[in-house]
Amino acid sequence: MRFLVRADLRSWLVPLLRAAPHEWAGYTTRLLAGGRGGARLVHAHDAVVRPYRRGGLPARLLHDTYFGWTPRPFHELCAMATLHGRGAPVVEVYGAAVEWLLPGCYRGWLATRFIEGARTLWEWASATQPGPERAPLWRDVGKSIRRLHDCGVRHPDLNANNVLLGPTDVLFIDFDRAHISAVNHGGHAADLDRLWRSLRKLDPQGHHVTAADFETLRGAYREGNACA
C-alpha cells in the first residue's frame, strides 16, 4: 500500500489505513449511512474512512476497482487540503491510502475528520417540513456554495448527500474529480442546477424541498460571500 497522510497524524493513521483492506482488524468501527456506502467512523480516533466505490453501471462490474497512475484518493486529498488552506468550507482531510492490485489498477481510501452531529442536506430536508423557519439554513447553504466557488473550485458532483450540515458550518465533501484554480471562473449555474436535480430526484413530488426553498438558496448565492 501507499500512503499520503498528515505528518502529525502518521503514528496512528498509517496503521489504521493498513487495516482497511482487512475488515478493520483490531479497530472498532461503525458503518455510516449516505453516499455509496462503506464509509466508517473509527471510534478510537474520531476519523471517517471512506472507500472509493464506483456508481452507476460500472459499479456492477468493477465495484471498488479503479485504473490509472494518478490515484483518485491522492488527488482528492491534495484538492481538499488546498481548499481547506484557503478557508473553503470543506471537511478537514487527514490522509489517503492506495492498494495497488496490479500495475495501474488500485483500490483506495480517504480519511477525514468526523463531524459530530452532522447531517447531509437531504437527511435534514427529509426530516423537516417546508416553511419560512427553514429559510436561514437554505441561505447558509447558498452562501457556502458561493464561498466554495470563490475559493477557486466548482464541485464536480454537487448533490444533496455531498453537503453536510454541521453544528456550526455548512461543509462539502467528495472532491475526487475537482479542478482548482486561483479564482472563481464562473460556471456556478451548472453546479446549482446539479444540486436542484439531485433534490428533485430524491423528492420528485416536492414534499420536502420546494421551488421556493431553492430560490432562497439561489438568492443567497447571488449575494456573494468571498473566500476568506
Catalytic residue list: 157
CA distance 209 to 129: 8
Helices of type H across 23-92: 58-61, 72-85
Identify which of 114, 223, 112, 208 has the alpha carbon closest to the alpha carbon of residue 160: 208
H-run or E-run covering 98: strand 93-102
Please give the C-alpha separations between residue 51 and each of 25, 35, 94, 167, 170, in angstroms, as whole numbers. Answer: 16, 11, 14, 25, 23
Handedness of CA 154, 160, 166, 170 (dihedral sign): positive
